[in-house]
A and B are shown apart, each in its own frame.
Chain A
Amino acid sequence: MANFDHQTLEYLKKLCRIDLSKEEERDIEVSLTRILKYVESLKDVNTDKTKTCRYILRGMLKNRMREDEIKNLLSREKFLENAPEQIGGMVRVPPVLKGSS
Chain B
Amino acid sequence: MLPLHHLSAIQIRDAFLKGDISAVQIVHHFLSRIESYDDALGAFLSVLNARVLLKAEALDKKRARGLPLGKLAAIPIAIKDNMHIQDEITTCGSKFLAHYRAPFSATAVDLMEKEDALLIGKTNLDEFAMGSSNENSAFKPAQNPWNLQCVPGGSSGGSAAAVGARLCSIATGSDTGGSIRQPASFCGIVGYKPTYGRVSRSGLVAFGSSLDQIGPLTTTVADAALTMEVIGKQCDYDATSLDLPAECYPLPKELEPGTVIGVPWHFLENLSASSRQNFEEVIRVLKDLGAKIVEVNLDLLKHSIAVYYIIATAEASTNLARFDGIRYGVRPPECKTLEEVYDYSRRMGFGREVKKRIMLGTYVLSAGFQDAFYKKAQKVRTLIINAFDEAFSHCDAVIMPVTTSGAFEHGAIHDPLEMYLQDIFTVPANLAGLPGISVPSGYDSRGMPLGLQILGPQMCDVSIMQIAHAYERATQHAKIPEAYG
- Whether B64 sits at the interface, judged by CB under 8 Å, is no
A4 to B343, CA, bound (A): 23
Contacts A43-B376, A56-B385, A96-B338 known; A18 to B309 CB distance under 8 Å?
no
Are the CB atoms of B347 and A19 closer together than 8 Å? yes
Are the CB atoms of B379 and A82 closer together than 8 Å? no
Contacts A2-B369, A32-B363, A95-B337 known; A45 to B380 CB distance under 8 Å?
yes
- Whether B58 sits at the interface, judged by CB under 8 Å, is no
What distance in Å separates the Cβ of B16 from its nearest Cβ neighbour in chain A? 33
- Whether B310 sits at the interface, judged by CB under 8 Å, is yes
Are the CB atoms of A82 and B383 closer together than 8 Å? no
Are the CB atoms of A16 and B458 closer together than 8 Å? no
- How many contacting A-B pairs (Cβ < 8 A)? 165
A95 to B341, CA, bound (A): 11
User: B355 touches which one: A20, A38, A51, A78 (CB < 8 A)?
Assistant: A20
Interface string of B331-350 (1 = CB under 8 A from A): 10001111111110011001
A93 to B342, CA, bound (A): 11
What residues make up the interface of A, taking CB atoms closer than 8 Å to B? 1-2, 4, 8-9, 12-13, 15-20, 24, 27-28, 31-32, 34-36, 38-39, 41-43, 45, 47, 50-54, 56-57, 60-62, 64, 66, 73-74, 78-79, 81-85, 91, 93-96
Contacts A28-B359, A56-B433 known; A82 to B103 CB distance under 8 Å?
yes
What distance in Å separates the Cβ of B324 from its nearest Cβ neighbour in chain A? 8
User: Could you list 6 examples of A-B contacts with CB < 8 Å?
Assistant: A27-B352, A34-B416, A41-B303, A47-B382, A56-B210, A57-B242
Are the CB atoms of B379 and A52 closer together than 8 Å? yes
Are the CB atoms of B376 and A60 closer together than 8 Å? no
Are the CB atoms of B346 and A17 closer together than 8 Å? yes
Interface of A is mostly: loop
Closest 5 CB pairs of A and B: A84-B331, A47-B379, A56-B433, A39-B306, A82-B328
User: A17 touches which one: B337, B343, B376, B385 (CB < 8 A)?
Assistant: B343
Are the CB atoms of B375 and A82 closer together than 8 Å? no
With a CB–CB cut-off of 8 A, which chain A residues contact B346? 16-19
User: A84 touches which one: B300, B328, B415, B458 (CB < 8 A)?
Assistant: B328
Query: Most chain-B CB neighbours within 10 Å: which of A2, A39, A78?
Result: A39
Are the CB atoms of B379 and A18 closer together than 8 Å? no
What residues make up the interface of B, taking CB atoms closer than 8 Å to A? 100-101, 103-104, 196-197, 210, 236, 239-240, 242-244, 300, 303, 305-307, 309-310, 317, 324-331, 335-343, 346-347, 350, 352, 355-356, 358-360, 362-363, 366, 369, 372-373, 375-383, 385, 415-417, 420, 431-433, 458-459
With a CB–CB cut-off of 8 A, which chain B residues contact A79? 103
With a CB–CB cut-off of 8 A, which chain A residues contact B350? 18
A24 to B359, CA, bound (A): 12
What distance in Å separates the Cβ of A45 from its nearest Cβ neighbour in chain B? 5
Contacts A18-B346, A18-B350 known; A84 to B385 CB distance under 8 Å?
no
Are the CB atoms of A81 and B417 closer together than 8 Å? no
What distance in Å separates the Cβ of A6 from its nearest Cβ neighbour in chain B? 13
A82 to B98, CA, bound (A): 11
A5 to B313, CA, bound (A): 19
